[in-house]
Amino acid sequence: MGDVVQQFFAVKAKIAAAEHEAGRQAGAVTLVAVSKTFDAADISPVIEAGQRVFGENRVQEAQGKWPDLKDAFPDIELHLIGPLQSNKAKEAVALFDVIETIDREKIAAELAKEIARQGRAPRLYVQVNTGSEPQKAGIEPREAVAFVARCRDVHGLAIEGLMCIPPADENPGPHFALLEKLAHEAGVARLSMGMSGDYETAIAFGATSVRVGSAIFGSR
């Protein structure tokens, strides 16, 4: 077994242990394997090992490798986890099954237009900038609940969850707790939180999906 496949199984085992530890149901947490910067040859062994849910942070990079992989494995579910520019909404709706990074009115409007035009409806998350970091994407926490409501009422978008990336240099726990509270207030069920360094913590705070890259594929 190659290193990457071994690391993949190790992450799966740690997720199962963290679910158990947190009193969560087995299988409650979806692993989104983050394959950005890795090519089809690196990704294929993980698909062969049974993984079907993947995350990419750039539309253009994903367009270069995923159409062929999705043809070969039609049950693959591809998540966009990076910032979305409104001029890429068309490509994003065409390729991704889940878009996790809605964070402003203009993107919501563009996505609604493309979903109607293409007749293809990816599942949608709102990204929250839980640390209010100026350089980071995501809606401000105090605006998140109203924004989810506007996505639904103004743009007709069904938001299924919230996503966050806590500040790199802080204890992530309070950020995960904040995201959980906001999701509850907004009436959405799913929480995308936790990366290679903190996914077990995120599971304890109620993550329904974790986005793990380097712990599976190695450093970028």
Question: Interface with ligand PLP by CB under 6 A: which residues?
Answer: 34, 36, 57, 81-82, 165, 195-197, 211-215
CA distance 146 to 2: 47
Alpha-carbon distance values, 24 to 39, 87, 129, 193, 206 (Å): 34, 40, 26, 16, 8
Nearest residue (CB) to ligand PLP, 112 versus 215: 215
Q: How far is the CB of 216 from ligand PLP (least distance, A)?
A: 8
Output 159 or 195, the one with its CB closest to ligand PLP: 195
Least separation in angstroms between residue 119's CB and ligand PLP is 28
Nearer to ligand PLP, 56 or 110 (CB): 56
For β-strands 30-34 and 209-212, DSSP reports them as parallel
- Nearest CA-CA partner of 139 in 169, 79, 187, 150: 150
Query: What is the smallest separation between the CB atom of 168 and ligand PLP, expressed in angstroms?
Result: 10
Q: Which residue is nearest to ligand PLP (CB)?
A: 213
Question: Cβ 175 to ligand PLP, closest distance in Å?
Answer: 13
Q: Where does residue 58 rank: exposed (0-12), middle (13-18), buried (19+ CB within 10 A)? A: middle
Indicate the Cα dihedral angle 44, 218, 210, 127, nearest 10°: -100
Q: Which is nearer to ligand PLP, 14 or 150 (CB)?
A: 14
